[in-house]
Amino acid sequence: MKVAIIGAGIAGLTAAAELNRRGIEVAVFEKARGSGGRLATRRCDWGHLDIGAQYFTAHSERFQRQVHHWQKLGTLARWEFTPYKAHDGGLTASADDTLRYVGIPDMNSLTRYLAADLQIHYQTRISGVYRRATEWCLYTETDETLRGFDWVVSTLPAEQSRSLLSDASDILAALPAHIHDPCWALALATRGPAPAAVQGIFGDRTISWVSRLSSRPQRRAGTGYDDLWMLHFAAGWSRREGKQTGVDLADTGLSWLNQRLQTRLQCLHHYRHYWRYAGIAANDEVDLAPSLIDAPQQLAVIGAWLGGGRVEGGYLSAMDMIEGCFI
């Protein structure tokens, strides 16, 4: 048996690693230069930037056991801090008992671990799939046709999976046409004093979350600056501005941060990234299974979006598919 998995994020790599462990041949296709998905890390010459998920949690017993295993392997650690909440131009400590985890030294350390023994074709964008007789065929963006797959598993966002699968399966009827909110991500390397206790901030309608990347386990600021921050702009703000925004994000983000911290940080470097498919939009009418499976066609769709957009959801979605189809 040979399985094609499209996407090398947490869901795709979890599924691939589990299938590989069961002796099933797996080929993973990823459009980017490396693994990660929502655990993406960008490596600039001035710092490593976790531009996607800033941490993850573990609510289910199953994922808690897996997280404990990854901790023992040294691929992740607890990020222990008291979060702050933005209000009226300032900040207030907002203690909670949430256990937060981060990859070490970067968020995509976990996906690199999962990818270690897998056959992954990076910089390979799959633009379509079709079933011919008893096999699945994949089209690449460069018009190459890849044949001989018994199963195809898409881990792409729902919106992209709809386009990829076309009329290939009845799964299409279960795929939401729009389920994701966008998000502008902005990294700032700053010089200047900032309160040591402030490591994470729950924001407002402009910026929804701030991480002090340089304060996390096994992380430190690069040479020439004091701190490294990641700001995620709110979904509504990001949607209104769009990918082609004319707003100076670095200036907007720095001004917001300085106002909340009541300091005068100087920005030495910045990096921005537009996530078209980030968080899950609020929609009470969407009731999703952990994974979408067309067993007769040997086709499946999995992903974090099927579990509320969380890293945990991506892992559980993959395991649900594995246990439903390959045991």
Q: Which residue pairs, CB below 8 angstroms and at least 24 apart, start in 163-166?
A: 164/6, 164/126, 164/127, 164/128, 164/129, 165/129, 165/299, 165/301, 166/128, 166/130
DSSP code of 224?
T
Question: How do residues 255-303 score in pLDDT, each as one tens digit?
Answer: 999 999 999 999 999 999 999 999 998 765 557 899 999 999 999 999 9
From the CB of residue 50, how many other CB atoms can be counted at a distance below 10 Å?
26
Handedness of CA 290, 105, 277, 143 (dihedral sign): negative
Residue 168 pLDDT: 73
Give residue 286's pLDDT. 59
The pLDDT tens digits for 91-118 are: 999 999 999 999 999 999 999 999 999 9
Q: What is the pLDDT, as a whole number, of residue 221? A: 75
CATH topology match: 2-54+109-177+286-325 vs 68-106+181-275: no
CB 119 within 8 A of CB 129: no
Pairing of strands 47-50, 41-44: antiparallel
Residue ranges of domains in the chain: 2-54+109-177+286-325, 68-106+181-275
Q: Residue 233: its pLDDT value, please?
A: 98
pLDDT, position 309 = 92
Among 3.90.660.10, 3.50.50.60, 3.90.79.10, 3.30.70.270, what is the CATH number of 68-106+181-275? Answer: 3.90.660.10
Residues of the chain with pLDDT under 70: 283-286
Q: At 288, which helix (H) or strand (E)?
A: none
Non-local CB neighbours of 124 within 8 Å, separated by 6+ positions: 29, 30, 31, 140, 141
Give the E-state strand segments of 45-89 in sequence order. 47-50, 76-78, 84-87
What's this model's pTM, rounded to 2 decimal places? Answer: 0.95
CATH number for the segment(s) 2-54+109-177+286-325? 3.50.50.60
Question: Which residues have CB under 8 Å from 130's CB, separation 6+?
Answer: 136, 137, 139, 166, 168
Looking at residue 78, what is its pLDDT? Answer: 97
DSSP 3-state percent helix, strand, coil across the chain (nearest 5): 30, 30, 40
What's the distance, CA 228 to chain centroid? 20
